[in-house]
Amino acid sequence: MAVYTEVTDDDLTQFIAGYDLGQALSFKGIAEGVENTNYLVHTEAGPHILTLYEKRVAVEDLPFFLGLMEHLADAGLACPVPVRDRNGVMLRELAGRPAAIITFLDGLWVRRPSVENCAALGETLAKLHLAGQTFDMTRKNALSVSGWGPLHEAAKGGADTIAPGLNAEVVEELHALESSWPRNLPAGIIHADLFPDNVFFLNDQLSGVIDFYFACNDALAYDIAICLNAWCFEIDNSFNITKARALLRAYDGLRPFTHKEFEALPMLARGAALRFLLTRIYDWLNTSADALVRPKDPMEYVRKLRFHRNVKSARDYGLGDN
């Protein structure tokens, strides 16, 4: 279970007393999630999520993340909202960790997204990007192209233990992307980690987007490229163009793609595949065998990267395709 910091009953009671939520009735750790410690807390005001931010999350970034969630919710996006305490504070301390109470969202994530799920995602992502235009805080994307080289350096010694020749393939891709990475695209707030387990559905309707702890400022189309990788490949790693077309058309219906974004999409999709390949290589090599959280298979993103290298145009993703 992904609970890294234990919270006692007395500490929780004292913490909750600072909010207008009534008494804490029960709480339990949440198994899913790898970055932070999360508890489901039932109070007299209803269920909430208690998040304790662990060492992998920079404390100085937390006002950005929490402020963004509050801003997006105010703009009408279905997402968790940080609860302010009686003094108007969103971020406090519990068990030696920065901590926040977040509203609870009903719904479940889908393990095999449908075409309809992908269309709902595209529409919601466009709404997120549009709402983010009026958010006045910024955060650099540390895992964009300039961050991939150092990430590779930290893990290259073991890449070939995952698959022979993997390190050379990554180096070749790094050089290609660093020299050809699209610049000067429309930019703004992106989620940067919008995988299916971060999107909830209820009665076949999208009910909310969660986990904004990779959110940052970057090219908006890069967020779309991440979603193509995360939502539009099947279990056998084949690309489902019908799902991709639904996602892209729904997005384009609210926030039309520019010509530069259309031209850049294949390269952005390659970059998104490499970004998650690199972090998976690092986690695969640096997660102990007795860890409670199992690292994800890097080879899934090797296969996706190879697919994108053969894409000639955004039309191969269903964009601009009649």
| Region 253-268 average pLDDT | 97
- Residue where the block lists tokens 């899934």: 300
% residues pLDDT > 70 (the chain)? 95
SS3 48: strand
Closest CA to 195 of 101, 98, 272: 272
Class of domain 9-103: alpha beta
Least confident of 108-117, 154-163, 260-269, 300-309: 154-163
Contacts for 302-306: CB closer than 8 Å, 24+ residues apart: 302/163, 302/166, 302/169, 302/277, 303/237, 304/229, 304/233, 304/237, 304/273, 305/173, 305/270, 305/273, 305/274, 305/277
DSSP annotation of 289: T
> For the chain, which residues make up each domain, given as ranges?
9-103, 115-317
Give pLDDT, residue 124.
Answer: 98
SS3 215: coil
Closest CA to 262 of 311, 177, 312, 319: 319
Handedness of CA 297, 65, 136, 208 (dihedral sign): positive
Give pLDDT, residue 35.
Answer: 74
DSSP annotation of 81: -
Please tell me the CATH code under which domain 115-317 is placed. 3.90.1200.10
- The 10s digit of each residue's pLDDT in 145-190 is 999 999 999 887 889 999 999 999 999 999 999 999 999 999 999 9
- The 10s digit of each residue's pLDDT in 219-251 is 999 999 999 999 999 999 999 999 999 999 999
- The 10s digit of each residue's pLDDT in 271-321 is 999 999 999 999 898 876 655 567 789 999 999 999 999 999 999 999 885
